[in-house]
Structure 1
Amino acid sequence: MTALRHAVVGAIEVASSNGHGQRFDKHSHDEFVISANLFGNEQVWLDRRSFSADAGSITTYNPGQIQGGGVAEGQPWHFVSLYVAPDVLAHGLGLAQLEFAQPERHLPALAQHMAQVVSASLSEDDFLRERAEERLLLLLGEIVRAGRVRLPQAAPVGREPLARLQEWLAADLARQPSLDEMAAYLGLSKFHLLRSFQKHVGLSPRQWAMQLRTRRAQGLLRRGVAATTVAHVLGFADQSHLNRHFRAAYGISPGRFQRTVR
């Protein structure tokens, strides 16, 4: 029996499959399919060619390519996969188009990293899933570079545009713009935005906005504002969402913090 977990994060589908003796008939996808083999030896058929993908291999399938294969009956197999539409992958990385030329590469460290990102994306814990889109996009950049696809040499982003984005985010913390909206605001690809923001600020845009929310929550709690009101005003999903981030940042619950400072 095969255990399959699946989710959609932004515009990226993620899946984890764990079982024995699984095989796939010859088929194709409209999307790019990127898989990391974590355990087992997969025999792959791709566009009239055959090859093996051992544990630690990453396989990449271009849209429309005929593929098939799997593992022998009774053999354990664990792999994780990403399904990304061509325009989503290309535009997210700042490319007009792209195509993988080499379908399999043995990259055990990157395969394990992909497994960790997929696991967080599939988690039932909202706290772990919140940064999934950002982590997936950065992961895709690593995979594309490892596949010897050259990413565009975008002009360096100076401090001023990033400061404008910070001001825009800080002006209304209850509004939580998507990564697409933030990238469009600065006229950058999502990948270039993430890389530039982290380089200059040390956090992703969403992480930076979240730490500002928790900091402002401190100020409101000091003034005696109820935690439920604080959560609503600052755009947290609910009080438990505020509690989780506040405790992660300061090691204390909002309620206990408020009792301490009064």
Structure 2
Amino acid sequence: MPRARPITVSTWTPAGAPGVQVLRVEDDTRLWTGHATAYGLTVTYSGAFDFWYRQRVWTHGPGPRLKLKEPGEVHRDERIHAPVTAQSITLAPALVEEAARQLGLAAAPHLTHAVSHGHGRTEATALALHEALARRTPDSLERDSLLAQTLEALLSEYAETRPRLSRATHRPAVSRARDFLQASYTRNVDLESLAASVGLNKFHLLRVFRAELGLPPHEYVTHLRVSRAKALLTQGLSASTVAVEVGLYDQSQLNRHFGRIVGMTPGQYARAMRRQ
């Protein structure tokens, strides 16, 4: 008879992200009960479970639907259908309330759903944030942007009172932000510094930057880095040296971004250029 895989639980606070905590369980079969003191977004990667929340029982399993929670409420697991691998992000009330204030909401947000719909901006941004936090990304702009996008999407789609988002384009501010990133793409710039440099709050900057240039700031920086990496690889520099030169933290990070954008590894690209 095969032995059950051991249950593992890990938790961490991402560096440079006060108010954010991550909890990950793998192959968990325990029933948990908790009184929430923070907002939460949980994604389940495998397994399934029933939980009691807001006077009814819900089922949560693999897929894009997120289990949501807010401070002051009890969640109680009722049944494990299969061992659960899941990850939760908890967000301090002050963090969510400040996001609400910047988005034009006066009160502490109340979430209208216990489980997200499974199709929308909240899932897209939250799942990308989960992935970035799971690999412990040291990239401040990526982490900050994904967190801000997740907060805006969550409040826009699930808060009882929804923010009225500005449609102003602010093209001069976008141009200044683009110039700022082009001049500093090798540095670990954070979103607050970028937003302050152009005089917009971070939520509005993210909206207008993407609307104008087609990419959020952290993806724009990644494309700048990969473009420069291609030039350096053509000059004969090693992939590990190139990673540092373009502002990435190691060769594995270069490999991941390069493969996604160029469609081959840095080594394959360098060999292809040498054959020309």
Instruction: Say yes or no: TM over 0.5.
Output: yes
Deviation at 1:101, TM superposition (A): 5.5
Q: Secondary structure at the match of 1:14?
A: strand
Match of 2:32 among 4, 23, 46: 23
- Aligned-pair distance for 1:3? 4.3
Do the aligned residues in 1 keep the contact of 2:109 with 2:155 (CA within 8 Å)?
no
CA 1:23–1:221: 2 relative to 1, 3 Å: closer
Secondary structure, in 3 states, of the residue corresponding to 2:9?
A: strand
- Alignment equivalent of 1:257, drawn from 251, 259, 269: 269
Structure 2 segments unaligned to the other structure (5+ residues): 1-5
1:8-46 C-alpha deviation (Å, 9 max, x unpaired): 343422334453351325x452x32344678322113xx
CA distance in 1, matches of 2:10, 2:69: 20
Matched, 1:32 2:46: no
**Counterpart of 1:14 in structure 2: which amino acid?**
V
Of 104, 128, 139 in structure 1, the residue corresponding to residue 114 of structure 2 is 104
Deviation digits for residues 112-157 of structure 1, max 9, x if unmatched? 6577446514544869999454334323322222323312433523
Q: Which SS does the other structure have where 1:59 is aligned?
A: strand
Is 1:13 the counterpart of 2:21 in the alignment?
A: yes
What amino acid maps onto 1:215 in structure 2?
S
1:44-55 aligned within 5 A: 44=53, 50-55=55-60
Of 33-42 and 155-164, the range deviating more from structure 2: 33-42
Question: Quick check: 1:13–1:83 contact (8 Å CA) kept in 2?
Answer: yes
Please report how far the alpha carbon of residue 85 of structure 1 lies from its aligned counterpart in structure 2 after TM superposition.
1.7
Query: Quick one: which amino acid aligns to residue 154 of structure 2?
Result: I
Counterpart of 1:104 in 2: which secondary structure?
Answer: coil
Question: Percent sequence identity over matched residues?
Answer: 23
Whether 1:158 and 2:163 are equivalent positions in the alignment is no
Distance 1:227 1:3 in 2: 35
Would the alpha carbon gap of residues 58 and 253 (structure 1) be closer, same or farther in structure 2, given more than 3 Å must change?
Answer: closer
Q: How far, CA to CA, are the matches of 2:213 and 2:12 in structure 1? A: 30
> Are the aligned partners of 1:6 and 1:122 in contact in 2 as well (CA < 8 Å)?
no
Partners in 1 of 2:40 and 2:94 — Cα distance?
Answer: 13
Amino acid at match of 2:57: S
Q: How do residues 1-262 of structure 1 correspond to structure 2 at under 5 angstroms?
A: 3-9=8-14, 10-11=17-18, 12-17=20-25, 19-24=28-33, 27-29=35-37, 31-35=38-42, 39-44=48-53, 50-55=55-60, 58-62=67-71, 65-72=72-79, 75-76=81-82, 78=84, 80-92=87-99, 94-95=102-103, 97-100=107-110, 102=112, 104=114, 107-109=117-119, 116-117=127-128, 119-124=130-135, 131-147=142-158, 148-154=160-166, 156-262=168-274
Letter in 2 for 1:61: E
Distance 1:68 1:249, change over 3 A: closer
Q: Is the 8 A contact 1:173 1:234 kept in 2?
A: yes
- CA spacing shift, 1:216–1:145, aligned 2, 3 Å: same
Matching residue's letter, 1:54: T
After TM superposition, the score normalised by the length of structure 1 is 0.75
Query: Given residue 232 of structure 1, which amino acid in structure 2 is its aligned partner?
Result: V
Task: Note the residue ranges of structure 1 that are not aligned, 5 or more in a row.
Answer: none
Q: Supply the AA of the counterpart residue of 1:120.
A: E
* SS of equivalent residue, structure 1 residue 4: strand
Once residues 229 and 60 of structure 1 are traced to their aligned partners in structure 2, the CA distance between those partners, rounded to angstroms, is: 44
Deviation for aligned residue 1:52: 2.6
Instruction: Give SS of 1:245's match.
Output: helix
Greater length-normalized contact order (CA 8 Å, ≥ 6 residues apart): 1
Contact 1:14-1:121 within 8 A present in 2 as well: no
In the other structure, the counterpart of 2:3 is none
- 1:134/1:194 contact within 8 Å kept: yes
How far apart, CA to CA, are the structure 1 residues paired with 2:66 and 2:226? Answer: 41
Mapped to 2, the partners of 1:131 and 1:28 lie a distance apart of 27
Q: CA RMSD in A?
A: 3.7
Structure 1 pair 210/33, CA: closer, same or farther in 2 (3 Å)?
closer
